[in-house]
Amino acid sequence: MKSLRFLLLLLIALPILYSCDTTTEPDTVETPVINPGGGTYTAAQLVTINCTTTDAIIKYTLDGTFPDSSATAITYTQPFTLTSNATVKAVAMKDGMDDSFITTAVFYIYDAMTRVSAGTFTMGSPNNIGDSDEHPQHQVTISNAFYIGKHEVTQAEWYAVMGTTPSNFAGDNRPVEKVNFYSTLVYCNKRSIQEGLTPVYTIGGSTNPTAWGAIPTTNNATWNAVVCSWNASGYRLPSEAEWEYAARGAADTPNYTYSGSDTIGDVAWYEGNSNAMTHDVGLKTANGIGAYDMTGNVQEWVWDWYGGEYYTTSPATDPYGPATGTIHVIRGGSWDQDANANRIAYRNWGSPEKGEPKVSNERLGFRVVRNSH
């Protein structure tokens, strides 16, 4: 009787046993590891992201959004440098496997930019020195403090925002070069968005660079009409006056010929010592505000349209250059220029789509500023 009962129970249970789903669940990709971990740092950090799952693809963001769905997600291919606050989130993916858990590291970096106090300085050159567009020498007041990059924007910084490497002289810590004026606007707004700041530039009614279309390689009237919101919190190019004020160490004394010294080799990579190439940023002596390479290494785009006689009519307070123009001001001298072209007061210019006429823009980069108020 007991045997019969057992048999009946077994017959009842068999359909249940055989109805169970025996499909094997996919494995989960290992969680990526961000190194170094989040924290507070007083210098730029080179960040690596690793995953122990073979052939996994890693995606990450710098603005705290989820990398598996964010439009700002970047595919990790090489280490990148953080020079400002960022929330790094990373996920690893592989076909046939579940995505990894998302890992997060929050970085607070306070040494990438230096603060420049408001003040008044002497801009330009005396009439017996320099070129005519450096005259007349005149007093300029910068009414608001600002932060300026201690270094020119590096290739690693550019790659972290733009996902490309345009430079001829490869090296993460070398300044990015071969960038036109239009591309610096894209970089500034993209980086601002990544870091949760208010973008500075508006083109065609939008502050989102994805709405602007491809970066022009020919002169473009729409991009030339870019609007700069000077009170926004995001990254931007310095005005020409802000650049010269910072290059002079935010002071008239000492009145150095080059940024930080009267001896060019102390502060600059130029044609006399560069071996015909750029060099890692920050290897020469800093100037009075702690900024490097404001003389030499690469020339730097600034905001202003160029005007050869602008100094005769420019405002005494916060000049931003002519209202319109065809070429933008370039400052700072470069690795392949002589000592004269590396003077603080020296003014150069280039078309926004390509840079200087008749030369390669392998000498042309930039640095960024942010408002302090």
pLDDT string in tens for the chain (373-residue length): 555 554 444 445 444 444 444 455 689 999 999 999 887 676 778 899 999 999 999 999 998 889 987 778 999 999 988 877 788 999 999 999 999 999 999 887 756 899 999 999 999 999 999 999 999 999 999 999 999 999 999 998 899 899 988 999 999 889 999 999 999 999 999 999 988 899 999 999 999 999 999 999 999 999 999 999 999 999 999 999 999 999 999 999 999 999 999 999 999 999 999 999 999 999 999 999 999 999 999 999 999 999 999 999 999 999 999 999 999 999 999 999 999 999 999 999 999 998 876 556 899 999 999 998 6
Task: Find the farthest-apart pair of alpha carbons in the chain and give their distance in angstroms, rounded.
Answer: 122
The residue with tokens 């007041």 is 141
Asked if the 33-109 domain carries CATH number 1.10.10, the reply is no
In order, the DSSP letters of 48-115 are EEE-SSTT-EEEEESBSS-TTT-TT-EE--S-EEE-S-EEEEEEEE-TTSBPPPPEEEEEEE-SSEEE
Q: Return d(Cα 122, Cα 137) in angstroms, integer.
A: 7
CA angle 63, 65, 67 (to 5 degrees): 110
Topology of domain 113-371, CATH: paralog of FGE (formylglycine-generating enzyme) (3.90.1580)
93 strand-pairing partners: 57
DSSP 8-state assignment for residue 203: B
Domain residue ranges of the chain, discontinuous segments joined by +: 33-109, 113-371
pTM of the model: 0.74
Residue 347 · residue 134 · CB < 8 Å: yes
Strand order in the sheet with 364-365: 348-350, 328-331, 299-305, 364-365
Identity of the amino acid at 155: Q
CB-neighbour burial class of residue 23 (10 A; exposed 0-12, middle 13-18, buried 19+): exposed
- Identify the CA nearest to 289 among candidates 247, 228, 330: 247
Contact call for residues 97 and 27 (beta carbons, < 8 A): yes
